[in-house]
Amino acid sequence: MTKVQVKELFFEKFIGRDEIEAAVQKVADGINRDYVGKNPLLLAVLNGSFIFASDLMRKLTIPCEISFVKFASYEGTLTTSKVKELIGVGEELKGRHVIVVEDIVDTGITVHKLLEDIHKKNPVDVTLACFCFKREAFRKSFGIDYLGMEIPNVFIVGYGLDYNGYGRNLPDIYQIVK
């Protein structure tokens, strides 16, 4: 088992590049099928989703645009349950098809706030494309329209996911060693 150190914590390989690639393709296939002729706006949640959003955009065959928002709700390996908006929605969303692009949904608190904010701006529709989902940690009731994979409630880094800002550059995904 491949292990890495991120700051003072140790992680072991959990999801390899081939699985990551297949999950991204699965999400892209769904969006390509459902958004023919619609020119959606992808709204990627920084910082974590930037790699997933980039890979996803390259697999989309439909006309689309991308923009970014930034929220913070984690300190170290734990969620604070408080969402801070650092960069809000800057685009006009009225009459648009919006696809929120998120790296991971665990408690759902951050995405729930973002979805509430987006709906106030009168888009035609809003869907959620998520790379991975922790059902065991989920505390909200919204659905995920395009899901790459479901994972257990473990802390992970790599492929854009971080521990205190570090580990995003790892091409595979690693879970914390307890």
DSSP string, 60-90: --S--EEEEEEEEEEETTEEEEEEEEEE---
Q: Write out the catalytic residue numbers.
A: 106
Which string of DSSP letters, residue by residue, matches 29-40?
A: HHHHHHTTTT-P
Residue pLDDT, tens place only, 8-64: 999 999 999 999 999 999 999 999 999 999 999 999 999 899 999 999 999 999 999
Contact at 8 Å (CB) between 26 and 150? no
pLDDT tens for 101-127 read 999 999 898 899 889 989 999 999 999
3 state DSSP class of 135? helix
Closest CA relative to residue 166, chosen from 88, 43, 77, 68: 77
User: Which domains can be identified in the chain, with CATH numbers?
Assistant: 19-171 (3.40.50.2020)
pTM, entire model: 0.91
Q: What is the mean pLDDT of residues 84-113?
A: 88
Q: Work out the mean pLDDT of the chain and round it to a whole number.
A: 92
